[in-house]
Amino acid sequence: MIGVILAVPVFLVVLMLQTTVMSTLPLLDGTADLVLLVLLAWSVQERVRSAVEWAAIGGALVGIISHAPLVAPIAGYLVVAILARVLRARIWQSPLVSLFLATFAGSVILPAFTWAALQFEGTSLPLVESINRVVLPGALLNLLLALPVYTIIAGLAQSVYPEEVAE
């Protein structure tokens, strides 16, 4: 339960950083998605059981502050969190491999959900240009920041879900 309650303040701080700092550091037109990175770093932790709840909370907060339809970030983050949990279960010895695979996949899935939702609303965005100028540069930035974010979130997860000591 504490893990779910913790999601709101964590994502509020992350969203402030994302909208103030990361938006000023684009690569072409792509920026890092700190909400995605925090969600994935949380999702690949072995003891964490609240990844889906974090995805819903993070997606809702992103949907509220973005111009995209609300359903796009919520659905996108839910898919990515589930993917990260599946990868973590399959590649159980290395959460970092799961993290990097999920980061790249999430960096493609989330913009795809947003692009599709905007297309559905009637906003026309050129697909190839969107991939070249937004998705790929954003994916590169996400991959570069994945390890530092993982380190911070792993410490947080360790304090929320401490390792049980066998007596």
Comparing 123 with 78, which gets the higher pLDDT?
78
- Quote the percentage of the chain above a pLDDT of 90: 59
What type of residue is 145? Answer: L
User: Residue 160: what pLDDT?
Assistant: 85
pLDDT at 44: 93
- Please report, rounded to a whole number, the percentage of residues in the chain having pLDDT higher than 70: 98
**What pLDDT is stored for residue 166 in this prediction?**
57
To the question of pTM greater than 0.85 for the whole model, the response is: yes
Query: DSSP letters along 96-147, please?
Result: HHHHHHHHHHHHHHHHHHHHHHHHHHT----HHHHIIIIIHHHHHHHHHHHH
pLDDT for 49-104, tens place per residue?
889 999 999 999 999 998 788 899 999 999 999 999 999 888 877 889 999 999 99
pLDDT of residue 40: 96
Question: Does the pLDDT of residue 20 top 80, yes or no?
Answer: yes
